[in-house]
Structure 1
Amino acid sequence: MRKVIAAINMTIDGICDHTAGIPDEDLHQHYTKLLDNSGVILYGRITYQLMQFWQTLIMNPSGQKSLDGFAVAIDKIPKIIFSHSLKNTEWESATLATKDIEKEVFELKQQSGKDILVGSRSLIIQLINLNLIDEFQICIHPMIEGKGLPLFDKIKDRTVFRLLKTKTFGSGAIVLYYEPIRS
Structure 2
Amino acid sequence: MRRVIAAINMTLDGICDHTAGIADEELHQHYTELLDEVGVILYGRITYQLMQFWQTLLKNPSGEKTMDDFALAIDRVPKIVYSHTLKNTDSIAIGWDSVKLSNQPIEKEITELKQQSGKDILVGSRSLIIHLMNLNLIDEFQICIHPVLEGKGLPLFDKLKDRKNLKLSKTKTFGSGVIVLYYEPLKY
CA positional deviation for 1:153? 1.1
SS at match of 1:7: strand
Q: Deviations over 1:46-105 (max 9, x none)?
A: 000000000000010011100000000111100000012222132211111120111110
SS at match of 1:13: coil
Q: What are the equivalent positions in structure 2 for 1:137-148 lying under 5 Å apart?
A: 137-148=142-153
2:150 maps to a residue whose letter is E
What is the aligned partner in structure 2 of residue 121 from structure 1? 126
CA positional deviation for 1:123? 0.1
SS at match of 2:17: coil
User: Which ranges of structure 1 fall in alignment gaps of 5 or more residues?
Assistant: none
Q: Identity percentage over the alignment?
A: 75
SS at match of 2:157: coil
What is the aligned partner in structure 2 of residue 29 from structure 1? 29
1:126 maps to a residue whose letter is H
CA positional deviation for 1:120? 0.1
CA positional deviation for 1:11? 0.4
2:122 maps to a residue whose letter is L
What is the aligned partner in structure 1 of residue 70 from structure 2? 70
TM-score (norm 1): 0.99
Q: Deviations over 1:141-160 (max 9, x none)?
A: 00100000000011000110
Residues in 2 aligned to 1:31 and 1:93: alpha-carbon distance in whole angstroms: 19
Over 3 Å off, 4+ runs: none
Q: What are the equivalent positions in structure 2 for 1:145-164 lying under 5 Å apart?
A: 145-164=150-169
1:4 maps to a residue whose letter is V
2:31 maps to a residue whose letter is Y
What is the aligned partner in structure 2 of residue 82 from structure 1? 82
Residues in 1 aligned to 2:2 and 2:158: alpha-carbon distance in whole angstroms: 26
What is the aligned partner in structure 1 of residue 98 from structure 2? 93
TM-score (norm 2): 0.96
SS at match of 1:109: helix
User: Which ranges of structure 2 fall in alignment gaps of 5 or more residues?
Assistant: none
Residues in 2 aligned to 1:44 and 1:119: alpha-carbon distance in whole angstroms: 8
